[in-house]
Structure 1
Amino acid sequence: MPDDTRARELAQALSLHGFAYVAARPSTGGWRVSAVDEGPYPVDVTGHRMIDAVGRAAADIARRYGGYPEGGSRCDVSLVRILHGPAAPIVLTNPGARPPAPTIVVVEPPPAAPLSLIPDHAEDTPIDVSGLDGIPWAELSHAHGSAEDIPDLLRALSDPFGDWDQTLDELLGDDLLHQGTCYSATPPALPFLARMITSGALPAKQRLDLCVWLLVAADRWADGLLADADRAAAEGRPPRPATWSLDVHFAVDELVPALLTRWETEPPAVRFALACLAALFPHHGRRIGDQITSMAYELDGTRPGAYLRLADALVRTRDGQALDAAADIVAWDESHDPDWLNAPDLTVAVRTGHVLAEGALRVLSDTD
């Protein structure tokens, strides 16, 4: 909350809503109000979704009083005062009270459908990494400092018979996209990943690995906007993307046309990843719109099919269909935050594209 007056107003509103313990204290840039729901809830999917729904109700109340939601935790109620430290300036207690219990309808997810990596065609041909030494890597940075080690990692990755998994984890998981964060060295490194894919020299599993990382990279922009949307609305400004994420998004944008030329030669798992990339960049993705539609029909009634239906709607810029498809997915996949679909001041493409990108990663973990 922006100040103590509105923090007190919100605390009172949350207490009246039924939270048993509400506390407010000064925090960086304003006041933080915490509301505690003592439970209990069923220890199953329904219980988790009920907790999420109660949290969303509290967030809606905060928005009405000029605040925004930020975080939350689940713990034993006895730990609350320990976690909150010294007594807060504002404390309201309502022993035994409970917020209204939401009605939850658990929707069974469609069956999984592992996506094949067969046929797998790889050519014995060198991968072009020319221009790698022309980039001032020492002036750029990644998660652990100077990016001067990136050329060696990229060269190591261009060897299909090297220590692929370890190199990939170090290059992208540890350095360039560590915990989903982008850095100044991330954009110039991505074109070399695309060259490795389009060279045809890597086996299908390795091509899929790189497509997945490009999907992760492209989605950092939407992820940052969604994370900032509520705060931005409360402060009366547009949402801001995370640092370097827009540059990374633009970098992937430039790579997508060449990647999509691979559609006819790729196995289903890689095609699925390409369809998701195409959906995030529909100005390029329309060229394979019919192929995405066909693949969605082939996998209709499965989890991959649900995400392909969303990809199809995004590629064809059909906002209503995209929202419907994303809402269906959120109803059965509890790992998605329903608030993504209601985030203020963001386009349908940003909101639903993030659902697609996040879900695609889980679908592709079932590849065989």
Structure 2
Amino acid sequence: MTGWSAMAGTHEFVVPDDTHAHQLADALASHGFAYVTGRKSRRGGWVVTAVDDGPYPADATGHRMIEAVGRAAAVIARQHGGYAEGGSRCDVSQLQIIRGPDAPIVCTNPGARPPTPTIVVVAPPPATALALTPDHAEDKPIDLSGLDEVPWPELGHAHGDAEDIPGLLRALADPFGDWDQTLAELFGDDLLHQGTCYSATAPALPFLSRMIASGALPARQRLDLCVWLLYAADRWADGLLADADRAAVEGRPPQPQAWTLDVHLAVDELVPALLTRWETEPPAVRFALACLAALFPHHGRQIGDRITSMAQGFDGTEPGAYLRLAEALVHTRDDEALAVATDIVAWEESHDPDWLNAADLVVGVRAGHVLAEGALRPLSNTE
């Protein structure tokens, strides 16, 4: 966004055929979009694109405004058998480019602009550093027994079969090795590449739990592993939320992405042992454990009172807000969780409000995703 004078963009919707495309294009033009096109999709169906001339401020408020206009357009799309499928953002000077070449369907409404709701964007509460001390790491071996019994060559990751995973896990178990590079290769490149799960992802996670529970790694490394477990567990909810609009139009429940349920269930099995470390971990790792507990409240209730106490200690701060959300989720207080999550998504440059409006998904999934995605903000501020 740097250097943009003002923002414009597009909203795209998928409909089943050209009849629906004509109807939706007409409806979006009538709603106030000055230029709407429809064309056949290579993946089946038709794509209807509403060009949103704006202009919107090139800042967080502007993004929220154009997103709100897109949500209103998505309601119209659902009335015509369509669902949202992304869009684009650009400087207003690029409007002619994003209009693109002529399409089979073109509807215009010169000079019109769709209704723009009033958006209130608030700054997050003060960021407070989460301590990584005291740290009680011990110099002792980590039990990786059973690692070679997993049929890794029969499993896959982002770049092929997973026969290299045992070596990477062993390298990760060395606290004095090239930690950052190994962790990035293992998860960022292989097992959770761009948020995608693979058949080898779930089988690798128990070994992370053992590394954390061993107490042999320093607190910074234990925290890194907890964050990856949190991110992995949330891929299931992320997929459900991404499919929610399409599922609503097609009259079916939202479906997760491949392997994400296996990964979610794998983390579920690991959480009880991890939570037993609460008393020995420093605040930064406790914060990550609180977030994990919130995604699995049937386990998390065992530390519910500790999460409450920690939330009170960070009251009025950014970590405190996420801890209050974790507390509400652990105790399955849906109304409170939804209220806290709603406050959080109003923060400047924070979360997508659509997460809380997704159809046919329980509050725990929607608000839990806000927590899991947002936890990275406070955890980036440790000392």
Asked if 1:320 is matched to 2:347, the reply is no
Change (3 A) 1:146 1:84: farther
Partner of 1:309: 324
| Alignment partner of 1:335 out of 350, 353, 377 | 350
* Secondary structure in structure 2 of the residue aligned to 1:72: strand
Q: How much does 1:106 deviate?
A: 2.2
Q: Report what 1:204 is aligned to.
A: 219
- Alpha-carbon shift at residue 76 of structure 1 (Å): 4.1
1:280 matched to 2:266 = no
| 1:136 aligns to 2:151 (yes or no) | yes
CA distance in 2, matches of 1:87, 1:42: 28
Counterpart mapping for 1:111-190 below 5 A: 111-190=126-205
The worse-fitting range, judged by mean Cα deviation, of 198-207 and 36-45 is: 36-45
Q: Which residue of 1 aligns with 2:3?
A: none
Deviation at 1:145, TM superposition (A): 0.2
- Distance in structure 2 (CA, Å) of the matches to 1:347 and 1:10: 30
Change (3 A) 1:62 1:239: same
Give the aligned partner of residue 12 of structure 2: none
Per the alignment, residue 7 of structure 1 pairs with 21
8 Å CA contact 2:130, 2:379 repeated in 1: yes
How far the C-alpha of 1:26 sits from its partner, in A, is 1.1
Question: Which segment is superposed worse, 88-97 or 262-271?
Answer: 88-97
Tell me which residue corresponds to 2:125: 110
Instruction: Determine the structure 2 residue equivalent to 1:16.
Output: 30
SS in 2 for 1:129: coil
**Stretch moving more, 343-352 or 54-63:** 54-63
The secondary structure found in structure 2 opposite 1:74 is: strand
Separation of aligned partners in 1, 2:39 and 2:96: 13
Question: Residue 243 of structure 2 is aligned with which of 228, 239, 242?
Answer: 228
Structure 1 stretches lacking a partner, 5+ long: none
Rounded Cα–Cα distance in structure 1 between residues aligned with 2:47 and 2:75: 15
Cα deviations across residues 39-62 of structure 1 (Å, max 9, x unaligned)? Answer: 212233222221111111111211
More moved, 89-98 vs 257-266 = 89-98
What SS does structure 2 have at the residue aligned with 1:35? strand
Deviations 1:209-228 (A, max 9, x none): 00000000000000000000
Shift of 1:79: 4.5
TM-score normalised by length of structure 1 = 0.97
Deviates more, 1:42-51 or 1:113-122: 42-51
Provide the C-alpha distance between the structure 1 equivalents of 2:50 and 2:58, rounded to a whole number of angstroms: 21
Q: Does 2:85 correspond to 1:70?
A: yes
The aligned runs of 1:238-253 (5 Å cut-off) are 238-253=253-268
1: CA distance between counterparts of 2:59 and 2:152?
49
Runs of 4+ residues over 3 Å off in structure 1: 76-86
Maintained 8 Å contact 2:294/2:329: yes
**Are the aligned partners of 2:61 and 2:348 in contact in 1 as well (CA < 8 Å)?**
no
Partners of 1:10 and 1:269 in 2: how far apart?
Answer: 49
Aligned residues: 368
**Worse overlay, 79-88 or 99-108:** 79-88
Q: Is residue 2:68 matched to residue 1:53?
A: yes
Structure with the largest fraction of strand: 2
SS in 1 for 2:140: coil
- In the alignment, structure 2 segments of 5+ residues that lack a partner are 1-14
Identical residues among aligned pairs (%)? 79
Q: Which residue matches 1:96?
A: 111
